[in-house]
A and B are shown apart, each in its own frame.
Chain A
Amino acid sequence: MPLLELRNIHKTYHLGGETIRALDGVSLDIDSGEFISIIGPSGSGKSTLMHILGCLDTPTSGTINLDGMMIHDASARQLASIRNKKIGFVFQFFNLLPKLTVRQNVELPMIYSGLSSKERRERAMNSLRSVNMEDRSKHRPSQLSGGQQQRAAIARALVNDPRIIFADEPTGNLDSNTGELILGMFDQLHQEGRTVMLVTHDPEIASVTPRRIEIRDGKIANEIDPKLGGEAPKFKEIKAKQSQLARDMTA
């Protein structure tokens, strides 16, 4: 059984009397341990798809099964709990709280899951260690570089051991070298067996993932899945090059 199972998802907005079909019948299965990217130009509906998958939003119609739970008609409270325990978010603008230290930022999800302060501290430090940020735990986000902030954000996303990680344009605000390093970290997470979904408009970034789904006008326009039809050689090359780069940077 897949980790995420979408069936015929529709999402419509009403803006000034005009009906916008952001998602128009999307069906999708994602297995545990997959590394996927969602590609599409802005306005294609990829962000809406990610918000719905990430339990920030609910579909107008259709069913979603996440890890055995039907989340398309869950209450706001249940969605908050799912976001807290099963989902990790990494954003383009890092979205760390500026008044808190790095460690306090990483501890934040655990505050909402009600862990004791001792356990919070321990797990936050472990998570920071896994992204090589433990020596920056007492810094404020403003004292860090963009790459460091994004690594802290990844540590925060990982801290509650989520089933799936969503990264929304995670390199969009970084220079290309740092961006590749961050992509390498996602690849690393994938290697460790985690489920990661990148959302991007850039095919080159998307090329690091084995499976790529292209969204256009609220529909799945194209899908490259190694299980179904193998990989385009162009993507293979780029991926090899980028994994190499990432390894160099982390080493």
Chain B
Amino acid sequence: MNLGSIIESGFKEIWANWFRSLLTMFGIILGVASLVTMSAFVKGKENLLRDSLAESGGLERIIVDDNDDLPDYQKHLEDEANGMTLKDVYALQKNAPLVYNVTPVIEKRSYRGSLRISRKSKRARYATVKGTWPSLMEIEEHELEHGRPFSDMDDLLANTVCIIGSQIRNELFGEYDNQGEEIIPVGEKIMINYIPFTIIGMFKEYMSEEDRKKKEEALATGQTAKKRDIGAAFRSGDRNSGRAMVVYLRKNSTIMVPLNTFVSKLDSSYDRGSNMDRSLSTVAMKIYDVSTLEKSLQQVRNVLMQTHNGLEDFEFETQEGFAGDIALSIQNERISGMFIAGICLLVGGIGIINIMLSSISERVREIGIRKSIGATNMDVFFQILTESIVIAIAGGIAGLIISPMLVNTLANFADDTTPPVMTAFAMTIAFGFSVITGSLAGLFPAIKAAKLDPIQALRYD
């Protein structure tokens, strides 16, 4: 018996009992659809987290922070602790070859008071002003969309110039003017702590791929995109997603000014002595290769222990923890999703076994007839197996067809979660699993049918 006629008779049999076959398929349909849907949501979240990790400088970014809390054996030297200074920056540039772009940062945040960003009557709520060098733009993966970066000359002359993030623009100028054109405030002035600063550049708007798509769609239809609710993400217990969204918000609310400008115009601790002793908020830098992270940290530590006279008043902030959290949470969700989808497919498979068994017990006589006119055991085996595989394949295809609808529906219901991303890989895996399930489920009934004794089968009523 050739393959064509086996498959043909399989289809005939399924068509003859289409309602029963459809019910049988439901298990497989749900299994495939839930597997695809689950993976789409996990993938969407994974994309957001990974993007946000990269946006905040990637694993190569190291930040050295002040640490007022000295080790116990150095507690009595607390007064000697100066924190990070420009001296450290120059020392690291000279003596730590495993790191580059060593950059001083002094920052103030508006929501901790002592900083007021305003223009006319408008005030920016969340803003971080960073006095720094231009190299910070590379470390923090900033991209200028309009205007220019500030130069060494701006720093030297302490020019009152600044580069703003799109969120600052949105709050002080609005995003679009009356004609619907994007507002580009380069050349305008804003007030930072009542001191006028000229905007010389603006960063591009940072957002996740999905948010960008949504925004473009919304623009095309003339509506404003719905803002994502960070609070909701945190409240729903999804700490990582919330954290990822904060990365974008914080980045968009940045104002960068030259370090010297910050020190002379905005820093209240100006009278602290020489420039070299001026206290920095952090020192940011990059490493060449993630695999040398440990060595690089050790090298930086060695240099800083020298410049700090052995006082360990600094600490490292790396992104490894964030990356680890991401990997762990993705893995957990993947495992639990796989487990659920696997159970769905298992139940679907049991459904097929059940139906095929009842189907062959209805068809004992048919099997006897087929055998009496020359069907071999293998012919009967493949006939039954083909039927269950055809059911599984049809169910798999139907599952793939309904999964985009399921994904969209669920995405609409759960508004504050990350948008799902369907992948061809997940769909292939799901389909493959449905075919494997169908084949395995068909094996037992097919063996049972093939083993039927033709004489007994012919007598069967």
Q: Which residues of A contact B (CB under 8 A)?
A: 51, 54, 56-57, 76-77, 80-81, 83-85, 89, 91, 95-97, 99, 108-109, 111-114, 117, 156, 160
Q: How many residues from B make CB contacts under 8 Å with A?
A: 23
> Is there an interface contact between B365 and A95, defined as CB atoms closer than 8 Å?
yes
> Is there an interface contact between A108 and B370, defined as CB atoms closer than 8 Å?
yes
Q: A111-B1, A111-B5, A114-B2 are in contact. Are A51 and B455 (CB under 8 A)?
A: yes
CB of B320 within 8 A of chain A?
no
Most buried by A among B13, B16, B368, B455: B455
**Least CB distance, A201 to chain B, in whole angstroms:** 16
> With contacts A83-B371, A89-B373, A108-B370 known, what are 19 further pairs, Cβ within 8 A?
A56-B372, A56-B455, A80-B376, A80-B379, A89-B372, A95-B368, A95-B369, A95-B372, A97-B369, A99-B12, A99-B16, A108-B373, A109-B373, A111-B1, A111-B5, A112-B370, A112-B376, A113-B374, A114-B1
**Least CB distance, B8 to chain A, in whole angstroms:** 9
> Is there an interface contact between A77 and B372, defined as CB atoms closer than 8 Å?
no
Q: Can you list 14 A-B contacts with CB-CB less than 8 angstroms, sorted by A residue number? A: A56-B454, A80-B376, A80-B379, A81-B374, A81-B376, A83-B374, A85-B374, A89-B373, A91-B458, A96-B369, A99-B16, A109-B374, A114-B2, A156-B373
Q: A80-B371, A85-B374, A99-B12 are in contact. Are A112 and B2 (CB under 8 A)?
A: no
> Is there an interface contact between A76 and B374, defined as CB atoms closer than 8 Å?
no
Contact bitstring B436-461, A, C-beta under 8 A = 1, else 0: 00000000000000000011001000
- The residue that B375 contacts in the complex, of A51, A57, A80, with Cβ under 8 A, is A80
> Is there an interface contact between A76 and B369, defined as CB atoms closer than 8 Å?
no
CB of B377 within 8 A of chain A?
yes
Interface residues of B in 1-58 (CB under 8 A from A): 1-2, 5, 12-13, 16
Cα-based distance from A54 to B373 in the complex (angstroms)? 10
In the complex, the chain B residue whose C-beta lies closest to that of A99 is B16
> Is there an interface contact between B376 and A76, defined as CB atoms closer than 8 Å?
yes
Contact bitstring B367-405, A, C-beta under 8 A = 1, else 0: 011111111111100000000000000000000000000
**Least CB distance, A168 to chain B, in whole angstroms:** 9
**Least CB distance, A205 to chain B, in whole angstroms:** 21
> Is there an interface contact between B455 and A76, defined as CB atoms closer than 8 Å?
no
Cα-based distance from A85 to B373 in the complex (angstroms)? 9
Q: A57-B455, A95-B365, A97-B366 are in contact. Are A112 and B372 (CB under 8 A)?
A: no
Cα-based distance from A99 to B373 in the complex (angstroms)? 17
Cα-based distance from A139 to B284 in the complex (angstroms)? 86
**Least CB distance, A82 to chain B, in whole angstroms:** 8
In the complex, the chain B residue whose C-beta lies closest to that of A82 is B374
In the complex, the chain A residue whose C-beta lies closest to that of B369 is A95
**Least CB distance, A83 to chain B, in whole angstroms:** 5
List, in ascending order, chain B residues with CB within 8 A of A76's CB.
376-377
**Least CB distance, B378 to chain A, in whole angstroms:** 8
**Least CB distance, A238 to chain B, in whole angstroms:** 30
Most buried by B among A54, A76, A160: A76
Cα-based distance from A112 to B371 in the complex (angstroms)? 10
> Is there an interface contact between B376 and A77, defined as CB atoms closer than 8 Å?
yes
Cα-based distance from A97 to B365 in the complex (angstroms)? 9
List, in ascending order, chain B residues with CB within 8 A of A108's CB.
370, 373
The SS class assigned to the B binding surface is: helix
List, in ascending order, chain A residues with CB within 8 A of B365's CB.
95
List, in ascending order, chain A residues with CB within 8 A of B370's CB.
108, 112
Cα-based distance from A113 to B376 in the complex (angstroms)? 10
Cα-based distance from A240 to B368 in the complex (angstroms)? 37
**Least CB distance, A30 to chain B, in whole angstroms:** 20
In the complex, the chain B residue whose C-beta lies closest to that of A85 is B374
Q: A56-B455, A89-B372, A95-B372 are in contact. Are A80 and B377 (CB under 8 A)?
A: yes
User: 9 tightest A-B contacts by CB?
Assistant: A84-B374, A80-B376, A112-B374, A109-B373, A95-B369, A83-B374, A56-B454, A112-B375, A111-B5
**Least CB distance, A213 to chain B, in whole angstroms:** 21
> Is there an interface contact between A83 and B373, defined as CB atoms closer than 8 Å?
yes
Cα-based distance from A141 to B13 in the complex (angstroms)? 17
Most buried by B among A51, A76, A109, A111: A111
In the complex, the chain B residue whose C-beta lies closest to that of A88 is B373
Interface residues of B in 346-367 (CB under 8 A from A): 365-366
Cα-based distance from A81 to B5 in the complex (angstroms)? 18
Most buried by B among A57, A96, A108, A160: A108
Most buried by A among B1, B365, B373: B373
Cα-based distance from A108 to B365 in the complex (angstroms)? 15
**Least CB distance, B374 to chain A, in whole angstroms:** 2
> Is there an interface contact between A95 and B458, defined as CB atoms closer than 8 Å?
yes
Interface residues of B in 314-366 (CB under 8 A from A): 365-366
List, in ascending order, chain B residues with CB within 8 A of A111's CB.
1, 5
**Least CB distance, A227 to chain B, in whole angstroms:** 31
Interface residues of B in 194-221 (CB under 8 A from A): none
In the complex, the chain A residue whose C-beta lies closest to that of B5 is A111
**Least CB distance, B277 to chain A, in whole angstroms:** 95
Q: A95-B365, A97-B366, A114-B2 are in contact. Are A77 and B373 (CB under 8 A)?
A: no
**Least CB distance, A92 to chain B, in whole angstroms:** 10
Cα-based distance from A6 to B192 in the complex (angstroms)? 113
Most buried by A among B2, B12, B369: B369
In the complex, the chain B residue whose C-beta lies closest to that of A48 is B455
List, in ascending order, chain A residues with CB within 8 A of B368's CB.
95
**Least CB distance, A98 to chain B, in whole angstroms:** 9
> Is there an interface contact between A112 and B458, defined as CB atoms closer than 8 Å?
no
**Least CB distance, B384 to chain A, in whole angstroms:** 15
Cα-based distance from A141 to B160 in the complex (angstroms)? 97
List, in ascending order, chain A residues with CB within 8 A of B375's CB.
80, 84, 112
Cα-based distance from A57 to B456 in the complex (angstroms)? 11
**Least CB distance, B34 to chain A, in whole angstroms:** 34
List, in ascending order, chain B residues with CB within 8 A of A117's CB.
5
- The residue that A112 contacts in the complex, of B16, B373, B455, with Cβ under 8 A, is B373
Cα-based distance from A209 to B38 in the complex (angstroms)? 73
